Protein backbone atom coordinates (compact mmCIF):
# COMPACT_ATOMS: atom_id res chain seq x y z
CA UNK A 1 0.00 0.00 0.00
CA UNK A 2 1.10 3.56 -0.49
CA UNK A 3 2.21 5.81 2.34
CA UNK A 4 -1.12 7.60 2.26
CA UNK A 5 -3.23 4.48 2.83
CA UNK A 6 -4.00 2.72 6.08
CA UNK A 7 -1.72 -0.28 6.41
CA UNK A 8 -3.12 -3.69 7.32
CA UNK A 9 -0.72 -5.69 9.49
CA UNK A 10 -0.21 -9.33 8.61
CA UNK A 11 0.20 -11.36 11.80
CA UNK A 12 2.66 -14.26 11.61
CA UNK A 13 2.95 -15.73 15.12
CA UNK A 14 6.32 -17.11 16.12
CA UNK A 15 6.10 -20.91 15.61
CA UNK A 16 8.61 -21.53 18.41
CA UNK A 17 8.05 -18.93 21.15
CA UNK A 18 9.94 -19.00 24.42
CA UNK A 19 8.19 -21.33 26.87
CA UNK A 20 6.23 -19.88 29.77
CA UNK A 21 8.73 -21.30 32.26
CA UNK A 22 11.76 -19.93 30.42
CA UNK A 23 10.04 -16.57 29.98
CA UNK A 24 9.32 -16.37 33.71
CA UNK A 25 12.96 -17.09 34.47
CA UNK A 26 14.09 -14.33 32.11
CA UNK A 27 11.61 -11.85 33.56
CA UNK A 28 12.83 -12.48 37.09
CA UNK A 29 15.91 -10.34 36.36
CA UNK A 30 15.75 -8.91 32.82
CA UNK A 31 18.18 -6.03 33.36
CA UNK A 32 17.99 -3.48 30.56
CA UNK A 33 18.33 -4.21 26.85
CA UNK A 34 19.54 -7.79 27.27
CA UNK A 35 16.34 -9.86 26.91
CA UNK A 36 14.00 -9.66 23.91
CA UNK A 37 10.45 -10.78 23.17
CA UNK A 38 9.26 -13.36 20.63
CA UNK A 39 8.15 -10.97 17.89
CA UNK A 40 9.01 -7.83 15.96
CA UNK A 41 7.27 -5.48 13.54
CA UNK A 42 8.58 -4.80 10.04
CA UNK A 43 7.30 -2.37 7.39
CA UNK A 44 9.01 -1.68 4.10
CA UNK A 45 9.22 1.49 2.00
CA UNK A 46 10.12 1.99 -1.65
CA UNK A 47 10.23 5.24 -3.59
CA UNK A 48 7.15 5.48 -5.81
CA UNK A 49 5.38 2.74 -3.85
CA UNK A 50 5.28 4.12 -0.34
CA UNK A 51 4.93 2.03 2.82
CA UNK A 52 3.94 -1.60 2.32
CA UNK A 53 4.21 -5.16 3.66
CA UNK A 54 3.45 -4.41 7.32
CA UNK A 55 4.03 -7.50 9.43
CA UNK A 56 4.16 -8.76 12.99
CA UNK A 57 6.46 -11.74 12.79
CA UNK A 58 8.97 -13.83 14.71
CA UNK A 59 11.94 -11.84 15.91
CA UNK A 60 14.89 -12.91 13.74
CA UNK A 61 18.11 -11.59 12.19
CA UNK A 62 17.66 -9.13 9.35
CA UNK A 63 19.27 -10.22 6.06
CA UNK A 64 21.48 -7.42 4.80
CA UNK A 65 23.57 -6.93 1.68
CA UNK A 66 27.12 -5.60 2.28
CA UNK A 67 26.25 -2.63 0.07
CA UNK A 68 23.13 -1.66 2.06
CA UNK A 69 23.14 2.12 2.21
CA UNK A 70 22.91 2.36 6.01
CA UNK A 71 26.28 0.62 6.39
CA UNK A 72 27.99 3.31 4.34
CA UNK A 73 26.06 6.56 4.80
CA UNK A 74 24.37 6.02 8.19
CA UNK A 75 20.78 6.90 7.29
CA UNK A 76 19.27 5.54 10.50
CA UNK A 77 16.93 6.85 13.20
CA UNK A 78 15.28 5.35 16.26
CA UNK A 79 13.00 5.98 19.23
CA UNK A 80 12.58 4.57 22.73
CA UNK A 81 9.51 4.35 24.96
CA UNK A 82 7.89 2.00 27.44
CA UNK A 83 4.72 -0.04 27.91
CA UNK A 84 3.50 -0.63 31.46
CA UNK A 85 1.24 -3.16 33.14
CA UNK A 86 -1.16 -1.33 35.46
CA UNK A 87 -2.62 -2.54 38.75
CA UNK A 88 -5.96 -3.39 37.07
CA UNK A 89 -4.26 -5.50 34.39
CA UNK A 90 -4.37 -2.95 31.58
CA UNK A 91 -1.39 -2.08 29.39
CA UNK A 92 -0.47 1.55 28.78
CA UNK A 93 2.14 3.62 26.95
CA UNK A 94 3.39 7.09 27.85
CA UNK A 95 2.92 9.72 25.12
CA UNK A 96 3.55 7.46 22.10
CA UNK A 97 2.26 10.18 19.77
CA UNK A 98 5.11 12.42 20.94
CA UNK A 99 7.61 9.73 19.96
CA UNK A 100 5.82 9.39 16.63
CA UNK A 101 6.16 13.11 15.93
CA UNK A 102 9.83 13.15 16.94
CA UNK A 103 10.42 10.14 14.67
CA UNK A 104 8.96 12.17 11.80
CA UNK A 105 11.19 15.14 12.64
CA UNK A 106 14.27 12.88 12.73
CA UNK A 107 13.29 11.39 9.36
CA UNK A 108 12.99 14.85 7.85
CA UNK A 109 16.45 15.83 9.07
CA UNK A 110 18.07 12.69 7.64
CA UNK A 111 16.18 12.87 4.32
CA UNK A 112 14.19 9.71 5.07
CA UNK A 113 10.51 8.97 4.38
CA UNK A 114 8.03 9.95 7.08
CA UNK A 115 6.13 7.11 8.70
CA UNK A 116 2.61 8.39 9.51
CA UNK A 117 2.15 8.93 13.24
CA UNK A 118 -0.92 6.69 13.37
CA UNK A 119 1.03 3.83 11.75
CA UNK A 120 3.89 4.33 14.21
CA UNK A 121 1.56 4.10 17.22
CA UNK A 122 -0.35 1.15 15.73
CA UNK A 123 2.91 -0.75 15.16
CA UNK A 124 3.70 -0.39 18.86
CA UNK A 125 0.23 -1.52 19.87
CA UNK A 126 0.42 -4.59 17.63
CA UNK A 127 3.74 -5.70 19.10
CA UNK A 128 2.61 -5.11 22.68
CA UNK A 129 -0.58 -7.04 21.99
CA UNK A 130 1.13 -10.20 20.73
CA UNK A 131 3.95 -10.07 23.33
CA UNK A 132 1.82 -8.94 26.26
CA UNK A 133 3.02 -11.79 28.48
CA UNK A 134 6.55 -10.37 28.25
CA UNK A 135 5.62 -7.25 30.25
CA UNK A 136 7.16 -7.82 33.68
CA UNK A 137 5.36 -7.14 36.94
CA UNK A 138 6.86 -4.91 39.59
CA UNK A 139 6.91 -1.25 40.60
CA UNK A 140 9.82 -0.34 38.32
CA UNK A 141 9.29 -2.89 35.55
CA UNK A 142 8.26 -2.14 31.97
CA UNK A 143 8.49 -3.32 28.38
CA UNK A 144 10.97 -1.12 26.53
CA UNK A 145 9.98 -0.52 22.90
CA UNK A 146 12.58 0.32 20.26
CA UNK A 147 11.22 1.50 16.88
CA UNK A 148 13.92 2.17 14.29
CA UNK A 149 14.31 2.74 10.56
CA UNK A 150 17.29 2.46 8.23
CA UNK A 151 18.20 2.76 4.57
CA UNK A 152 18.08 -0.74 3.09
CA UNK A 153 18.66 0.03 -0.59
CA UNK A 154 21.67 -1.73 -2.07
CA UNK A 155 23.80 0.97 -3.66
CA UNK A 156 26.98 2.99 -3.24
CA UNK A 157 26.43 6.69 -3.81
CA UNK A 158 25.90 9.73 -1.64
CA UNK A 159 22.18 10.45 -1.94
CA UNK A 160 19.04 9.61 0.04
CA UNK A 161 18.18 5.95 -0.37
CA UNK A 162 15.09 4.80 -2.24
CA UNK A 163 14.30 1.85 0.04
CA UNK A 164 13.93 1.64 3.83
CA UNK A 165 13.03 -0.86 6.53
CA UNK A 166 11.12 0.14 9.66
CA UNK A 167 11.18 -2.23 12.63
CA UNK A 168 10.03 -2.41 16.24
CA UNK A 169 11.58 -4.75 18.79
CA UNK A 170 10.78 -5.04 22.50
CA UNK A 171 12.82 -5.75 25.60
CA UNK A 172 11.47 -6.36 29.11
CA UNK A 173 13.20 -4.10 31.62
CA UNK A 174 13.53 -4.25 35.38
CA UNK A 175 14.44 -1.46 37.77
CA UNK A 176 17.02 0.86 36.17
CA UNK A 177 18.56 1.50 39.59
CA UNK A 178 19.08 -1.90 41.22
CA UNK A 179 19.80 -0.41 44.66
CA UNK A 180 17.38 2.49 44.47
CA UNK A 181 17.83 5.96 43.00
CA UNK A 182 21.25 7.38 43.86
CA UNK A 183 23.02 10.55 42.69
CA UNK A 184 25.41 10.00 39.80
CA UNK A 185 28.79 11.57 39.10
CA UNK A 186 29.22 13.31 35.76
CA UNK A 187 32.26 14.30 33.73
CA UNK A 188 32.36 17.60 31.85
CA UNK A 189 34.20 16.86 28.61
CA UNK A 190 36.91 19.42 27.80
CA UNK A 191 37.56 18.21 24.26
CA UNK A 192 34.53 16.48 22.79
CA UNK A 193 31.23 18.04 21.71
CA UNK A 194 28.00 16.24 20.90
CA UNK A 195 26.52 18.40 18.12
CA UNK A 196 27.03 21.71 16.34
CA UNK A 197 24.52 24.27 15.03
CA UNK A 198 23.09 23.03 11.76
CA UNK A 199 23.98 19.43 12.57
CA UNK A 200 21.84 16.49 13.68
CA UNK A 201 21.72 17.23 17.40
CA UNK A 202 17.92 17.51 17.46
CA UNK A 203 17.46 14.21 15.59
CA UNK A 204 17.48 10.84 17.33
CA UNK A 205 19.97 9.12 15.07
CA UNK A 206 22.64 6.56 15.84
CA UNK A 207 25.47 8.80 14.67
CA UNK A 208 24.92 11.18 17.58
CA UNK A 209 25.38 8.35 20.03
CA UNK A 210 28.40 6.91 18.23
CA UNK A 211 30.03 10.34 18.43
CA UNK A 212 29.46 10.40 22.21
CA UNK A 213 31.15 7.09 22.99
CA UNK A 214 34.75 8.34 23.15
CA UNK A 215 33.67 11.03 25.61
CA UNK A 216 31.68 8.48 27.62
CA UNK A 217 34.76 6.25 27.80
CA UNK A 218 36.71 9.27 29.04
CA UNK A 219 34.06 9.81 31.72
CA UNK A 220 34.30 6.20 32.88
CA UNK A 221 38.10 6.47 33.10
CA UNK A 222 37.57 9.50 35.36
CA UNK A 223 35.31 7.44 37.63
CA UNK A 224 32.10 9.03 36.38
CA UNK A 225 28.76 7.60 35.31
CA UNK A 226 27.94 9.96 32.46
CA UNK A 227 29.46 12.67 30.28
CA UNK A 228 28.23 16.27 30.01
CA UNK A 229 28.76 18.08 26.72
CA UNK A 230 29.33 21.81 26.33
CA UNK A 231 28.29 23.78 23.25
CA UNK A 232 30.40 23.33 20.12
CA UNK A 233 30.86 27.04 19.38
CA UNK A 234 32.13 28.64 22.59
CA UNK A 235 32.68 25.54 24.76
CA UNK A 236 30.99 27.47 27.59
CA UNK A 237 27.35 26.45 27.80
CA UNK A 238 25.89 23.14 28.94
CA UNK A 239 24.12 21.23 26.18
CA UNK A 240 23.12 17.81 27.51
CA UNK A 241 24.46 14.50 28.76
CA UNK A 242 25.43 11.64 26.50
CA UNK A 243 21.86 10.39 26.41
CA UNK A 244 19.82 12.63 28.73
CA UNK A 245 18.64 16.23 29.12
CA UNK A 246 19.76 18.23 32.17
CA UNK A 247 17.93 20.50 34.65
CA UNK A 248 19.10 22.95 37.33
CA UNK A 249 17.06 23.83 40.44
CA UNK A 250 17.88 27.08 42.28
CA UNK A 251 17.18 28.35 45.79
CA UNK A 252 14.45 30.74 44.54
CA UNK A 253 12.42 27.76 43.24
CA UNK A 254 13.48 28.37 39.64
CA UNK A 255 13.99 25.34 37.41
CA UNK A 256 16.21 25.90 34.36
CA UNK A 257 17.10 23.74 31.37
CA UNK A 258 19.11 24.61 28.23
CA UNK A 259 16.93 25.79 25.32
CA UNK A 260 16.20 23.73 22.21
CA UNK A 261 18.32 25.51 19.64
CA UNK A 262 18.92 22.56 17.31
CA UNK A 263 21.88 20.98 19.11
CA UNK A 264 19.87 19.30 21.90
CA UNK A 265 17.48 16.37 21.57
CA UNK A 266 13.93 17.51 22.41
CA UNK A 267 13.34 14.91 25.11
CA UNK A 268 9.79 13.75 25.75
CA UNK A 269 10.60 13.29 29.44
CA UNK A 270 12.14 16.79 29.37
CA UNK A 271 8.90 18.25 28.05
CA UNK A 272 6.88 16.42 30.71
CA UNK A 273 9.18 17.69 33.47
CA UNK A 274 8.74 21.28 32.32
CA UNK A 275 4.96 20.89 32.51
CA UNK A 276 4.95 19.16 35.91
CA UNK A 277 7.45 21.59 37.43
CA UNK A 278 5.39 24.60 36.39
CA UNK A 279 2.26 23.01 37.86
CA UNK A 280 4.17 22.34 41.09
CA UNK A 281 4.96 26.03 41.49
CA UNK A 282 8.45 26.26 40.02
CA UNK A 283 9.34 29.20 37.84
CA UNK A 284 10.44 27.40 34.69
CA UNK A 285 13.04 28.85 32.32
CA UNK A 286 14.66 27.57 29.15
CA UNK A 287 17.92 29.48 28.90
CA UNK A 288 21.66 28.85 28.50
CA UNK A 289 23.63 27.83 31.60
CA UNK A 290 27.40 28.20 31.45
CA UNK A 291 29.69 25.70 33.13
CA UNK A 292 31.35 28.58 35.00
CA UNK A 293 27.97 29.62 36.44
CA UNK A 294 27.15 25.99 37.29
CA UNK A 295 30.34 25.76 39.34
CA UNK A 296 29.96 29.19 40.99
CA UNK A 297 26.29 28.71 41.86
CA UNK A 298 27.00 25.31 43.37
CA UNK A 299 29.75 26.82 45.53
CA UNK A 300 27.55 29.67 46.74
CA UNK A 301 24.62 27.40 47.51
CA UNK A 302 22.36 29.21 45.07
CA UNK A 303 22.16 26.05 42.98
CA UNK A 304 20.44 23.43 45.12
CA UNK A 305 19.84 20.48 42.77
CA UNK A 306 20.77 19.19 39.32
CA UNK A 307 19.20 16.21 37.58
CA UNK A 308 19.16 14.47 34.22
CA UNK A 309 16.11 12.96 32.57
CA UNK A 310 15.33 10.50 29.81
CA UNK A 311 13.18 7.49 28.94
CA UNK A 312 15.33 4.76 30.49
CA UNK A 313 16.03 6.19 33.95
CA UNK A 314 13.22 8.81 33.99
CA UNK A 315 14.89 11.29 36.40
CA UNK A 316 18.41 10.85 37.79
CA UNK A 317 19.89 13.16 40.46
CA UNK A 318 23.41 14.48 39.81
CA UNK A 319 25.48 14.69 42.98
CA UNK A 320 29.07 15.26 41.86
CA UNK A 321 30.65 17.04 38.88
CA UNK A 322 34.19 16.31 37.73
CA UNK A 323 36.34 18.08 35.14
CA UNK A 324 40.08 18.12 34.35
CA UNK A 325 40.90 20.75 36.99
CA UNK A 326 38.83 19.40 39.86
CA UNK A 327 35.34 18.55 41.06
CA UNK A 328 32.45 19.91 43.11
CA UNK A 329 29.30 18.69 44.81
CA UNK A 330 25.68 19.63 44.24
CA UNK A 331 23.65 20.05 47.43
CA UNK A 332 26.04 17.95 49.46
CA UNK A 333 25.84 15.12 46.95
CA UNK A 334 22.43 13.92 48.13
CA UNK A 335 19.21 13.61 46.04
CA UNK A 336 17.28 16.89 46.09
CA UNK A 337 13.72 17.18 47.34
CA UNK A 338 12.38 18.72 44.13
CA UNK A 339 14.19 16.14 42.01
CA UNK A 340 12.72 13.20 43.86
CA UNK A 341 9.23 14.74 44.05
CA UNK A 342 9.17 15.28 40.28
CA UNK A 343 10.46 11.77 39.70
CA UNK A 344 7.85 10.20 41.95
CA UNK A 345 5.05 12.16 40.30
CA UNK A 346 6.18 11.37 36.77
CA UNK A 347 6.67 7.65 37.44
CA UNK A 348 3.23 7.46 39.09
CA UNK A 349 1.61 9.06 36.05
CA UNK A 350 3.49 6.80 33.63
CA UNK A 351 2.34 3.71 35.49
CA UNK A 352 -1.28 4.85 35.75
CA UNK A 353 -1.10 5.23 39.53
CA UNK A 354 -1.73 8.98 39.67
CA UNK A 355 -4.04 11.50 38.03
CA UNK A 356 -3.15 12.22 34.41
CA UNK A 357 -4.55 15.71 33.75
CA UNK A 358 -2.59 16.11 30.52
CA UNK A 359 -3.79 12.89 28.85
CA UNK A 360 -0.27 11.55 28.49
CA UNK A 361 -1.05 7.91 29.25
CA UNK A 362 -2.57 5.91 26.40
CA UNK A 363 -4.30 2.64 27.20
CA UNK A 364 -3.41 0.18 24.45
CA UNK A 365 -4.83 -3.10 25.83
DSSP state of 237: B
* The pLDDT value given to residue 317: 97
- For this structure, is 49 an active site residue? no
SS3 (DSSP) at 220 = helix
SS3 (DSSP) at 165 = strand
Pick out the chain residues at pLDDT < 50: 1-4
Question: Residue 249 contacts by C-beta under 8 Å, 6 or more apart in sequence?
Answer: 255, 256, 282, 303, 304, 305, 306, 307, 336, 338, 339
* The pLDDT value given to residue 179: 67
Tell me the pTM: 0.96
* The pLDDT value given to residue 1: 38
How far apart, in whole angstroms, are the C-alpha atoms of residue 84 and residue 94?
Answer: 9
* The pLDDT value given to residue 178: 62
The torsion defined by the Cα of 41, 47, 52 and 58, in degrees rounded to 10, comes to -30
**What is the CA 281 to chain-centroid distance, rounded?**
27
* The pLDDT value given to residue 4: 47
Give one word for 217, left, alpha or beta, with left for phi > 0 and alpha for psi -120 to 50.
Answer: alpha
H or E, element range at 171: strand 163-173
Give one word for 168, left, alpha or beta, with left for phi > 0 and alpha for psi -120 to 50.
Answer: beta
Amino acid sequence: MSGGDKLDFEIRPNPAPVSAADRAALLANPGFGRVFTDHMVTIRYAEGKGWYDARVEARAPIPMDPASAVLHYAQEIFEGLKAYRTADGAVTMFRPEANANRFIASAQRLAMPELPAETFVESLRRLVEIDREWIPDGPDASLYLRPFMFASEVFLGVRPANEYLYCVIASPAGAYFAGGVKPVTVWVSPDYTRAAPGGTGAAKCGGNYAASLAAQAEAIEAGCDQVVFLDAVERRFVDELGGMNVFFVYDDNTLVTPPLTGTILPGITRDAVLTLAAAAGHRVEERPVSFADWQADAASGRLREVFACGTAAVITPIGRVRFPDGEFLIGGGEPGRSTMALREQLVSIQRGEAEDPHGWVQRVL
